[in-house]
A = this chain, B = another copy of it.
Amino acid sequence: MSTIYDVARRAGVSPKTVSRVLNSDGPVGEKTREAVEAAMRELGYVRSNAARMMRAQKSGIIGLITGAISTKNQPSTQQGLPDLYIVQGIQRALESSGMTVMIADTAGRNDRVPHLIDTFLSHRVEGLIYVAEYHQEVNLTQLPDDTPLVLANCFDARGTPAVVPDDRRLQRDLVRRLIAAGHRRIAYLSLRPDMVAGRLRPQGYREALEEAGLPFDPALLQHVDFDQPEIGPQLLWDTIDRMLQLDQPPSVLCCGNDQMAMMVYGILRSMGRKVPDEIGVAGFDNYRAIAETLYPPLTTVDLPYNAIGVRAGERLMQLISGDGRNDHSPVQVAGPVHWRASVTELRPENVISFKTPREEKQ
């Protein structure tokens, strides 16, 4: 691979002049510039990042640690790959800055994280982002260095800058919407309470009920460990069965996530209950491969992974450029409700208030 020296020789100038052409510092004569550019083209010259970053003491590299790519071995993981969208968002946010993103995968083993961090440091990354597979608290080994770190989809006790989904608010918005559609008996099938989402989402559910003056019925809030290998479907079946046996059964089942909702579809139909006519189903995530393909399509709320990534990327760029605003509270990100055919509008008159001005004009 050719170097600036090769280019310089071919163009009959000094290496420094080639450098000037490359970087547009200092002045370069018109003819010289053309000669240099021609030489570069002819040699297929590509500038060496290694030499460059060595001199400049800047790598232009951002390190990204994620389990996204190999999450499937973990037993209790729900759908698996959503945090890929976070990575996508990060890339989008960093694209304009000219940074190169280097992604390392934990391969499902958290004990490899220190090694990955070491590799990144040896590349002299200018910043690090750790992306968790699902909203959780983490505890990374302290970075020995002053390299900035941002946590995405997770947080820690040290107050490291973090960006997380606003589970509470998202669930509240969805349940609000269900209430607005006329539903009064809303069941909530929650994820395990040892997951952050399994705690925050039920909170949002209860908040929406309270706001609307609806009573909270403990019988309608159940935690279900639905993704257990064997017994998961049984647990879910049993929980739904009990709810439907109640004196006042629910008119809609709110599920902890879209994958649970998919399983609920099958169970309800095996029970001979029609969705949405006899009972509605709502999800959480807007995991589109599921939500849009299910039949009928699933009402759910957008867990904005993309936005989380973008925000995390932006936050990191701030830190790198020295904007050390010590915001110890994590950034919370929310997203829109997606209303689809899996829940009926019990009171059609309510629908009107949800039309946009534009639609009303038509």
Q: A123 interface residue, CB < 8 Å from B?
A: yes
Instruction: For chain A, residues 295 to 324, give those with C-beta under 8 angstroms from any C-beta of chain B.
Output: 295-296
Whether A259 contacts B69 in the complex (CB less than 8 A), given A50-B124, A295-B266, comes out as no
In the bound complex, how far is the Cα of B268 from the Cα of A270, in angstroms?
A: 12
Measured between C-beta atoms, what is the minimum distance from A339 to chain B in Å?
Answer: 16
Instruction: For chain A, residues 235 to 280, give those with C-beta under 8 angstroms from any C-beta of chain B.
Output: 259, 262-263, 265-267, 269-270
Encode contact with B along A50-93: 1 for CB under 8 Å, 0 otherwise: 11011000010000000011101000000111001101100110
Question: Please, how many residues of chain A have a CB less than 8 angstroms from a CB on the other chain?
Answer: 57
Measured between C-beta atoms, what is the minimum distance from A39 to chain B in Å?
Answer: 15
Q: A24 interface residue, CB < 8 Å from B?
A: no
Q: A47 interface residue, CB < 8 Å from B?
A: yes
In the bound complex, how far is the Cα of B44 from the Cα of A121, in angstroms?
A: 11
- Tell me which of B51, B123, B227 contacts A54 (CB under 8 A): B51
Q: A332 interface residue, CB < 8 Å from B?
A: no
Give 4 A-B pairs besides A50-B54, A68-B84, A88-B107 with Cβ atoms closer than 8 angstroms. A48-B54, A50-B53, A289-B289, A289-B290
16 A-B pairs with CB atoms under 8 Å apart are: A46-B121, A46-B122, A48-B54, A48-B124, A49-B122, A49-B124, A50-B53, A50-B54, A69-B84, A69-B85, A95-B107, A259-B289, A262-B293, A263-B293, A266-B294, A266-B295
